[in-house]
Amino acid sequence: DAGVTQSPTHLIKTRGQQVTLRCSPKSGHDTVSWYQQALGQGPQFIFQYYEEEERQRGNFPDRFSGHQFPNYSSELNVNALLLGDSALYLCASSFGGGAGDEQFFGPGTRLTVL
Amino acid sequence: TQLLEQSPQFLSIQEGENLTVYCNSSSVFSSLQWYRQEPGEGPVLLVTVVTGGEVKKLKRLTFQFGDARKDSSLHITAAQPGDTGLYLCAGGGSNYKLTFGKGTLLTVNP
């Protein structure tokens, strides 16, 4: 049983560009949450997708957007990249998505913005 | 805004020593989770505590949730090099998001 998978593993972009990150949840899970983890920090909640809709959003600008597909996989899009967007982007899946539910994290995508 | 503060930020000890890391907040959480994250990987859930005063044991790890559900601690007995990693606490509230602390980076030297 595959766990949460993310692609790509690493990505280098320049300021102003746009990026799309992908996540496939663990089998049986219907909810995907995205987190940004800057170096030396804990993960920060970006948003959560459930039933193909954004259910909750953290304190991130509209440059960060997402999508969930009928097969529960998800994409995170970031437009107009800034240097400060350099971070590890983590996807977590769960069933139901409650904050007390167990979330399984993927290995993350390391984004570097030059 | 709910914040979780973890201490210490860094901890380097010898194999066999005991240690405690702390997670504190001014806010009440309905649940609190502890994760361990190793380099190049995502966090892995160790435990979830939901009841004030709750104590859970996982082999050499003991987790405690404060009576007021605002703080938690993780105690490791007889630490081993395999315990090395970033320990993160995360609080869950009435919404769907988890609020993470900055973590405690533990190094256990052989």
Tell me whether residues A42 and B88 touch, CB distance under 8 A: yes
Structure tokens at A1: 């049983």
Best interface-test mutation with B: which of A37, A44, A91, A104 has the largest number of B CBs within 10 A? Answer: A37
Query: Around B51, how many Cα atoms within 13 Å sit in the side-chain half-sphere?
Result: 4
> Which among A4, A50, A99 is the nearest to B97, CB-wise?
A99
Instruction: Encode pLDDT of B1-21 as tens digits.
Output: 678 999 999 999 999 999 999
User: How high is the pLDDT of residue A26?
Assistant: 95
* Strand ranges of the sheet holding A5-7, from the earlier edge strand across to the other edge: A5-7, A19-24, A74-78, A64-68
Instruction: Encode pLDDT of A67-99 as tens digits.
Output: 999 999 999 999 999 999 999 999 999 987 776
- pLDDT band at residue A102 using 50, 70 and 90 as cut-offs: confident
User: How high is the pLDDT of residue A107?
Assistant: 95
Question: Could you tell me how many helices (H) and strands (E) chain B has, helices first?
Answer: 0, 11
Structure tokens at B102: 């900055």
Tell me how close the Cα of A68 comes to any Cα of chain B, in angstroms.
16
Tell me whether residues A48 and B96 touch, CB distance under 8 A: yes
Tell me whether residues B97 and A48 touch, CB distance under 8 A: yes
Q: Cis peptide leading into A8, omega within 30 of 0?
A: yes
Q: Going by C-beta distance under 8 Å and a sequence separation of 6 or more, which residues neighbour residue B106? A: B11, B12, B13, B19, B21, B76, B79, B83, B84, B85, B86, B87
User: How high is the pLDDT of residue B38?
Assistant: 93
Instruction: Encode pLDDT of B24-58 as tens digits.
Output: 998 888 889 999 999 888 999 999 998 999 999 99
Residues of B in contact with A104 (CB under 8 A): 45
Tell me whether residues B90 and A48 touch, CB distance under 8 A: no
Contact B24, B4 (CB under 8 A): yes
Tell me whether residues A56 and B95 touch, CB distance under 8 A: yes
DSSP code for A25 = P
Which residues on adjacent β-strands are paired with residue A22?
Answer: A7, A75
If you count them, how many residues does chain B have? 110
User: How high is the pLDDT of residue A40?
Assistant: 87
User: How high is the pLDDT of residue B10?
Assistant: 97
Residue B53 to residue B55: CA distance in whole angstroms: 7
